[in-house]
């Protein structure tokens, strides 16, 4: 009945058995319903829990019990410098020097902190270019920053939408817009991987065009960090922010991160909102009256480190460090290509090509591991039936189901099973319509 041949299952099994990263799956808890593991494709929304999280958090709870306040210096991983332990593995994930990265706060907070420093609009240069339909939190952040500086979001924020007949914004559109607005442009701030379509922008090209126009380039990497190869330092990106609870498995509401290029970290003239943890640690406890910025991205820290969520994140960063982004992205490309194949097979075998399309770019250089499937009708019904059958994608209003086969814990077999169930569901839902 189902058009995926036995050889596909054999293919999936064979790929899993030769996959050097397949050992990592067992380091995560896979959610189960009535004892049956779900097919989890939501790592772009909330990454799964590494089994070691509990141990890492327990260590801090124990040290707190044993040491009280002295744990700041005597805990096995002293809390005074706890963020230091996350710096290097995080820097590797985004292609930065360790002193360019700091783990702190939450994503939207970090976006505001970065914009305070890097969006300094002037009478003639005040515009921001961003992708149309950006994640709402980013839209609110941009608009409120613009308003705070006394400008009008309607005339200051240039939103770019896909051209007619396209499902995503071409990088060339961004470059054209930069050129068109170059005399008024202050900042380009784009989601590196768009949360809705899964499109990966050409970040180095955008950065260099922004710089040529005399503007700053900053990126929201919520859907890019831990998903695609990034070289923020080499690309000369000015700043970036990202959360840790999506591909980085830092746990719900987990602590986020920021990148500031070395071109800026030593600049004493930068405007910033300061707090004691951004002060140079050498003089932090002498409480100097005047703020002495740390000579690194740490200068943007406000408060002392939230150790418990950071402990959860450490457990996951250890796994990333062990696996390495090169190997992860290599597997990601294969796994995503396989998922694309499997989805297309399911759509063809149930004769609903007219109802369904994948809006994510087909070019593997323009996407990470997310595929967004758009429905002309019945999308919500398909989504609900998939969920009932333990296929967990996520629904994005009005008409998209996103699937993210995550290389760290998803298998080729997961993808194969997903294809089987998707075919069944599509046949059920669309059989009545016209066939
Ligand atoms: C997930 C996501 C957010 C969420 O922001 P929080 O501050 O972590 O709640 C914001 N922007 C983008 C682009 C996202 O993908």
402-413 pLDDT, tens digit per residue, is 999 999 999 999
pLDDT at residue 8, rounded to an integer: 80
pLDDT at residue 288, rounded to an integer: 77
One-character DSSP codes across 280-349:
-TTTGGG--SS--B-SSGGGG--S---HHHHHHHHHHHHHHHHH-HHHHHHHHHHHHHHHHHHHHHHHHH
Q: How far is the CA of 219 from the centre of ligand 1 (A)?
A: 12
Q: How far is the CA of 292 from the centre of ligand 1 (A)?
A: 30
Mutate to test the pocket of ligand 1, among 132, 136, 137 (most ligand atoms within 8 A of CB): 137
pLDDT at residue 417, rounded to an integer: 97
Nearby residues of 350 by Cβ (< 8 Å), 6 or more positions away:
423, 426, 427, 430
User: What φ, ψ does residue 217 adopt, rounded to 5°?
Assistant: -125, 120
pLDDT at residue 279, rounded to an integer: 92
Q: How far is the CA of 275 from the centre of ligand 1 (A)?
A: 23
pLDDT at residue 93, rounded to an integer: 98
Strand, helix or coil for residue 130:
strand
Q: How far is the CA of 276 from the centre of ligand 1 (A)?
A: 26
Q: Which residues pair with 401 in a beta bridge?
A: 373, 395
Look at residues 83, 70, 13, 26 and name the one whose alpha carbon lies nearest to residue 52: 26
Q: How far is the CA of 408 from the centre of ligand 1 (A)?
A: 21
Residue nearest to atom 8 of ligand 1 (CA): 107
Q: Please, which pLDDT band fits residue 432 given cuts at 50, 70 and 90?
A: low
- Report pLDDT digits (tens) over 337-392: 999 999 999 999 999 999 999 999 999 999 999 999 999 999 999 999 999 999 99
Q: How far is the CA of 211 from the centre of ligand 1 (A)?
A: 26
Nearby residues of 194 by Cβ (< 8 Å), 6 or more positions away:
131, 168, 169, 201, 223
Other residues' Cβ atoms within 10 Å of the Cβ of residue 106: 18
- Report pLDDT digits (tens) over 204-228: 999 999 999 999 999 999 999 999 9
Under CATH, which architecture does the 9-30+324-432 domain have? Alpha-Beta Complex (3.90)
Pocket lining for ligand 1, CB < 6 angstroms: 106-108, 135, 137-138, 191, 195, 220, 222-223, 243
Q: Please, which pLDDT band fits residue 134 given cuts at 50, 70 and 90?
A: confident
- Report pLDDT digits (tens) over 152-165: 999 999 999 999 99
The number of the ligand 1 atom at minimal distance from the alpha carbon of 45 is 1
User: What φ, ψ does residue 276 adopt, rounded to 5°?
Assistant: -65, -30
- Report pLDDT digits (tens) over 21-32: 999 999 999 999
Q: What CATH number should be reported for the domain whose range is 85-321? A: 3.40.640.10
Residue 202 pLDDT exceeds 90: yes
Mean pLDDT of 127-141: 94
- Report pLDDT digits (tens) over 65-115: 999 999 999 999 999 999 999 999 999 999 999 999 999 999 999 999 999
pTM: 0.96
Q: How far is the CA of 108 from the centre of ligand 1 (A)?
A: 6
Q: Does an H or E element contain 163, and which? A: none
Mean pLDDT of 215-244: 98
pLDDT at residue 386, rounded to an integer: 98
Residue nearest to atom 2 of ligand 1 (CA): 222
pLDDT at residue 331, rounded to an integer: 98
pLDDT at residue 4, rounded to an integer: 47
Average per-residue pLDDT in the chain? 95
The number of the ligand 1 atom at minimal distance from the alpha carbon of 253 is 8
Q: Which residues pair with 374 in a beta bridge?
A: 357, 400
- Two tokens, residue 311: 């402990």
Nearby residues of 277 by Cβ (< 8 Å), 6 or more positions away:
104, 284, 298, 301, 302, 303, 304, 305
Mean pLDDT of 262-277: 93
Could you tell me the CA-to-CA distances from 219 to 124, 315, 394 in Å, in that order?
A: 23, 26, 24
pLDDT at residue 65, rounded to an integer: 98
Q: Please, which pLDDT band fits residue 434 given cuts at 50, 70 and 90?
A: low
pLDDT at residue 431, rounded to an integer: 84
Residue spans per domain, the chain? 9-30+324-432, 85-321
Residue nearest to atom 14 of ligand 1 (CA): 222
Span of 115-124, 130-139, 378-387 with lowest mean pLDDT: 130-139
The number of the ligand 1 atom at minimal distance from the alpha carbon of 243 is 8
Higher pLDDT, 340 or 8: 340
* Peptide bond between residue 398 and the one before it cis (omega within 30 degrees of 0): yes
Q: Are strands 257-260 and 391-392 parallel, antiparallel or unpaired?
A: unpaired
Mutate to test the pocket of ligand 1, among 107, 142, 313 (most ligand atoms within 8 A of CB): 107
Residue 2 pLDDT exceeds 70: no
Mutate to test the pocket of ligand 1, among 110, 112, 135 (most ligand atoms within 8 A of CB): 135
Q: How far is the CA of 224 from the centre of ligand 1 (A)?
A: 12
Q: Please, which pLDDT band fits residue 7 given cuts at 50, 70 and 90?
A: low
Between helix 307-323 and helix 53-67 the angle, nearest 10°, is 140
Q: How far is the CA of 111 from the centre of ligand 1 (A)?
A: 10
Q: Please, which pLDDT band fits residue 1 given cuts at 50, 70 and 90?
A: very low
Mean pLDDT of 157-179: 96
């Amino acid at each position: 009945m189902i058009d995926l041949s036995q050889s596909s299952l054999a293919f999936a099994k064979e790929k899993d058995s030769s996959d050097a990263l397949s050992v990592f799956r067992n380091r995560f808890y896979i959610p189960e319903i009535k004892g049956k593991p779900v097919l989890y494709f939501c790592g772009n929304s909330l990454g799964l829990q590494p089994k070691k999280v509990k141990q890492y958090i327990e260590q801090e709870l124990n040290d707190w019990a044993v040491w009280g306040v002295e744990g700041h210096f005597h805990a096995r991983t002293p809390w005074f410098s706890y963020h230091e332990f996350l710096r290097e593995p995080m820097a590797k994930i985004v292609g930065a020097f360790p002193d360019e990265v700091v783990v702190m706060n939450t994503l939207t907070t970090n976006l505001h902190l970065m914009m305070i420093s890097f969006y300094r609009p002037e009478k003639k240069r005040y515009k921001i270019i961003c992708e149309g339909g950006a994640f709402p939190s980013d839209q609110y952040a941009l608009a409120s920053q613009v308003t705070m500086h006394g400008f009008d979001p309607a005339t200051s924020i240039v939103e770019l939408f896909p051209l007619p007949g396209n499902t995503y914004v071409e990088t060339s559109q961004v470059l054209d817009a930069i050129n068109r607005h170059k005399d008024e442009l202050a900042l380009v701030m784009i989601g590196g991987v768009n949360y809705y379509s899964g499109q990966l922008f050409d970040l180095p090209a955008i950065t260099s065009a922004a710089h040529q126009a005399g503007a700053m380039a900053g990126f929201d990497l919520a859907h890019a960090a831990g998903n695609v190869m990034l070289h923020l330092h080499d690309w000369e990106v000015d700043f970036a922010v990202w959360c840790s609870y999506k591909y980085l498995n830092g746990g719900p509401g987990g602590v986020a991160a920021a990148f500031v290029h070395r071109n800026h970290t030593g600049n004493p003239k930068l405007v910033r909102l300061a707090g004691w943890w951004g002060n140079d640690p050498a003089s932090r406890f002498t409480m100097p009256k005047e703020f002495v910025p740390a000579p690194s991205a740490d200068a943007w820290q406000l408060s002392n480190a939230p150790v418990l969520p950071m402990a959860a994140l450490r457990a996951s960063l250890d796994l990333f460090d062990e696996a390495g982004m090169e190997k992860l992205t290599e597997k990601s490309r294969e796994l995503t290509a396989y998922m694309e194949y499997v989805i297309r097979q399911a759509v063809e075998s149930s004769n609903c090509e007219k109802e369904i399309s994948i809006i994510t770019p087909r070019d593997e250089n323009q996407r990470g591991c997310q595929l967004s499937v758009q429905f002309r009708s019945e999308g919500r019904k398909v989504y609900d039936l998939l969920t009932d059958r333990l296929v967990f994608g996520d629904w994005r209003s009005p008409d998209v189901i996103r699937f993210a086969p995550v290389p760290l814990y998803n298998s080729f077999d997961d993808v194969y099973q997903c294809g089987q169930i998707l075919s069944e569901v599509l046949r059920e839902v669309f059989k009545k319509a016209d066939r």
